[in-house]
Amino acid sequence: EIVLTQSPATLSLSPGERATLSCRASQSVSSSLAWYQQKPGQAPRLLIYDASNRATGIPARFSGSGSGTDFTLTISSLEPEDFAVYYCQQRSNWPRTFGQGTKVEIK
């Protein structure tokens, strides 16, 4: 099973700041990685697929990069609605797995 390790567990930032979230895979997943945002009491929302492609309707301040084992989600300038938990997910190998999440909280 591919283990996805997200860091940091919690990121404390202020609105307007840049957020950089990391996802490291225990073995290569090529570019088969997605990022999701989840707010309390809500379902996850797809942000990025295939490592760097924004999903429909996702603002340009969200960007993804990486391949192989190291991936990054960048939020260029945090808006108040961006404070949430973010998960990475791989579809390269069985079973499909998610990371444990990074919480982006208001500093």
Partner 1 sequence: QVQLVESGGGVAQPGRSLRLSCAASGFNFSNYGMHWVRQAPGKGLEWVAVISYDGSNKYYADSVKGRFTISRDTSKNTLYLQMNSLRAEDTAVYYCAKDRLGITYYFDYWGQGTLVTVSS
Does 96 interact with partner 1 (rule: CB under 8 A)?
yes
- For residues 54 and 56, give the distance between their C-alpha atoms in angstroms, rounded to a whole number: 7
Which backbone phi and psi does 82 adopt, to 5 degrees? Answer: -90, -5
CB atoms within 10 A of CB 35: 30
Beta carbon nearer to partner 1, 48 or 78: 48
Does 62 interact with partner 1 (rule: CB under 8 A)?
no
Name beta bridge partners: 81. none
- Residue 52 exposure: Cα atoms within 13 Å on the Cβ side: 8
Contacts (CB under 8 A) with partner 1, residues 5-44: 34, 36, 42-44
Q: Choose the binding region for partner 1 from 9-17, 19-27, 48-56, 61-69 (rule: CB under 8 A).
A: 48-56
Does 56 interact with partner 1 (rule: CB under 8 A)?
yes
Q: Choose the binding region for partner 1 from 14-22, 59-67, 68-76, 86-94 (rule: CB under 8 A).
A: 86-94
Query: For residue 60, what are its two tokens?
Result: 């340009």
By residue count, the chain amounts to: 107
CB of 102 to partner 1, least distance (A): 11
Q: Please, are residues 67 and 53 in contact by the beta-carbon 8 Å criterion?
A: no
Question: Interface residues with partner 1 (CB under 8 A)?
Answer: 34, 36, 42-46, 49-50, 55-56, 87, 89, 91, 95-101
